[in-house]
Amino acid sequence: MKRLGTRLLFALFLFFPVLASGAQEPKVLPLRDERYKADILLVVAHPDDEGAATPYLARALDEHKRIAVVFGTRGSSGANEAGAEQAAALGAIREIEARNALTALGITNVWFLSGKDTASQNVLQSLANWDHGASLEQLVRFVRLTRPEVILTFLPGTFIGEDHGDHQASGVLATEAFGMAGDPASFPEQLAGPTKRLEPLLENLRPWQPKKIYYFADADREDIFRGNGPEYSVKEISKSSKQPYWRMALDSFRAHQTQAKSFLDKIAQMDEAQIEKMATSDGGWTDTLHFVLGKSLVGGSVNGDVFDGITPGAIPFARPDASPEPARADLSVELGGPYSFYAEFRRAHGLTNLPHPEPPEIALQAPGTLVIPLWIRNRTAKTQEITFAATLPAGWTALNGTGKFTVVAKQVAATRIEITLPALAENGAKKTEPQEISVHAESNGQSIGEIKLRVELRKRALPQ
Ligand SMILES: [Zn+2]
């Protein structure tokens, strides 16, 4: 016994100095925090927008996928059916509602950008109101933190539908973050190793290239978006809850009291059969989910499963392939505003196959005003005179912006034509069939462009 004790002491004496120096026991450097690794990152605009994807998220959770969610705003300018709170106080409530809705499904990694609600269909207004650069920086951080295989988001485009500018902005930012998060030269301060503990500015994240991005469109027309990605029935039964996926989505939605208290109170009084009848007859609760494949860097078929082609592990950064600038005449006119932005955006992000309505379309409140933003490009060596004329349906009138203008040599000028829209019949339908209008541009007796737009009139619509 004594001998053993002496030997042990001797052994400790021998090895202790070596262990203390650390020479033989390498220190494991800190790794990524696996609790925040996601397979799917959902990027949407407002609390309750997650509802566009919750039946799919419930299915993905059944397949043991890890999910994180980023909201663009806290929804502070929405309605409040549940209480008196408004503005920032309502935003604070809606943040919790969104967290509770997702927790009901089992999703707890949820973040908010500091965007503000924008009552407009114009994505450029939303991006301006969200401090585009700051929001993008935050979203790139969340992509690097969550390292998603797949990003799911609203389709960046403009069309007749709900077409909220904020929804579009979430899709624009998600696409930009998809293209930047893997780039070591983008927001490098997020990637640099930490310096001193008391100067915590550098984040020690790593670049991360997501593998696929899918979109969902809140467009009325489905013809142009169908067949460009997978679809999922929401009526299938969840392995975990033994309920249809739409029913799990409805349960999750119960958290959004501020947005739908009267509807939710009604549901609370119904039995299962009545809920099923309500869900299948209106509100789109049981509609099939359709996704549009934006980009895949790992192959897989367009209409195959979201995870088709995805294998574990990082892939190299893929700089988006920009397609060349379209050829233009020396003197040209084209639709400006969000329409020309999206043409540039698709070109810059290698999304030239992304479906978009042609001619472009919009739904507007009537009576009201339609604004047609235009670019005039004069690459010639002299000042050019241009004449605009609009062809409009009966009862629509050009308020201003038509007639003659000059653009000096080598300049690009912005202009706008404003058209007064007639009221809809008092007892008539809530909306008209879309009508086509056109703007003709002429110079020196020659046509230099014709711009077409399909316009639907509605009793209620978001401002243009
Ligand atoms: Zn929304």
Q: In this structure, what DSSP letter does residue 376 have? A: E
Model confidence at 82: pLDDT above 90: yes
SS3 content of the chain, % helix, strand, coil (to 5): 30, 25, 45
Residues with CB under 5 A from ligand 1 (ion): 45-46, 49
Structure confidence at residue 244 as a pLDDT band (50, 70, 90): very high
Count the neighbouring beta carbons within 10 Å of the beta carbon of residue 83: 12
CA of 47 to the centre of ligand 1 (A): 7
Edge-to-edge strand ranges of the sheet holding 368-378: 331-335, 368-378, 411-421, 397-400
pLDDT score recorded for residue 282: 75
HSE on the CB side for 298, CA within 13 Å? 21
Centroid of ligand 1 to alpha carbon of 100 (angstroms): 17
Alpha carbons within 13 A on the beta-carbon side of 311: 3
CA of 119 to the centre of ligand 1 (A): 11
- The confidence score (pLDDT) of residue 196 equals 76
CA–centroid distance, 199 to ligand 1, in Å, is 38
Give the Å distance between the CA of 167 and the centre of ligand 1: 6
> Given this model, what pLDDT does residue 427 score?
85
Cα of 452 to ligand 1 centre, how many Å? 28
**Residue 44 C-alpha to ligand 1 middle, in angstroms?**
8
**Ligand 1 centroid from CA 321, angstroms:** 30
Which DSSP symbol is given to 30? P
Q: Rounded CA gap, 40 and 30, in Å?
A: 24
The percent of residues above 90 in pLDDT, for the chain, comes to 86
Ligand 1 centroid distance, CA of 181 (Å): 25
Q: How far is the CA of 228 from the centre of ligand 1 (A)?
A: 23
Closest-CA residue to 449 (of 330, 280, 323, 294): 330
Residue 277 belongs to what H/E stretch?
helix 272-281
Contacts of 282 (CB under 8 A, 6+ apart): none
- Residues 258 and 63: their CA atoms lie apart, in Å, by 32
CA dist., res. 299 & res. 85, Å (int): 48
| Gap from CA of 75 to ligand 1 centroid (Å) | 8
Q: What is the C-alpha to C-alpha distance for residues 464 and 457, in angstroms, rounded to an integer? A: 12
Instruction: Give the amino acid at 105.
Output: L
pLDDT of residue 22: 52
Q: Residue 43 Cα, ligand 1 centroid: separation in angstroms?
A: 11
Q: Is the pLDDT of residue 16 over 90?
A: no
75: which 2 tokens?
């929804």
Find the 78 Cα to ligand 1 centroid distance in Å: 9
Average pLDDT value for residue range 147-166 = 96
Q: Identify the pLDDT of residue 322.
A: 81
Q: How remote is the CA of residue 150 from the centroid of ligand 1, in Å? A: 21
Distance, CA 112 to ligand 1 centroid (Å)? Answer: 14
Residue whose pair of structure tokens reads 């009901």 in the numeric block: 104
- Tell me how far the alpha carbon of residue 426 lies from the centroid of ligand 1, in angstroms: 29
Ligand 1 centroid–CA 49 distance in Å is: 5
- Cα 162 to averaged position of ligand 1 atoms, centre (Å): 9
What is the rounded average pLDDT of the residues 172-194? 96
410-455: pLDDT as tens digits: 999 999 999 999 999 888 889 999 999 999 999 999 999 999 999 9
Measure 165 CA to ligand 1 centroid, in angstroms: 9
Span from the CA of 216 to the centroid of ligand 1 (angstroms): 13
Ligand 1 centre to CA of 164 (Å) is 7
Distance 429 CA to ligand 1 centre (A): 25
Centre of ligand 1 to C-alpha 155, Å, is 13
When comparing pLDDT for 22 and 361, which is higher?
361
Which residue is associated with the tokens 């893929």? 318
Tell me, what's the pLDDT at 12? 47
Q: How far is the CA of 232 from the centre of ligand 1 (A)?
A: 22
Task: State in Å: Cα 296 to ligand 1 middle.
Answer: 26
Question: Is 407 a residue whose pLDDT tops 90?
Answer: yes
Binned at pLDDT 50, 70 and 90, residue 213 comes out as: very high
CA 45 to ligand 1 centroid distance, Å: 6
Ligand 1 mean position to 97 CA, how many Å? 14
In the block, tokens 């950064």 appear at 317
Burial tier of 217 (Cβ tally within 10 Å: 0-12, 13-18, 19+)? buried
Distance CA 225, CA 223 (A): 6
Confidence class for position 81, pLDDT limits 50, 70, 90: very high
Phi first, then psi: what are they for 436, rounded to 5°? -90, 135
CA of 219 to the centre of ligand 1 (A): 13
> If you write DSSP's letter for every residue of 6-26 in order, what string do you get?
HHHHHHHHHHHHHHHHTSSSP
Q: What tokens were used for 364? A: 């507007």
- Residues 6 or more apart whose CB falls under 8 angstroms from that of 320 comprise 179, 348, 349, 350
Q: How far is the CA of 168 from the centre of ligand 1 (A)?
A: 10
Q: Residue 310 has what pLDDT?
A: 98
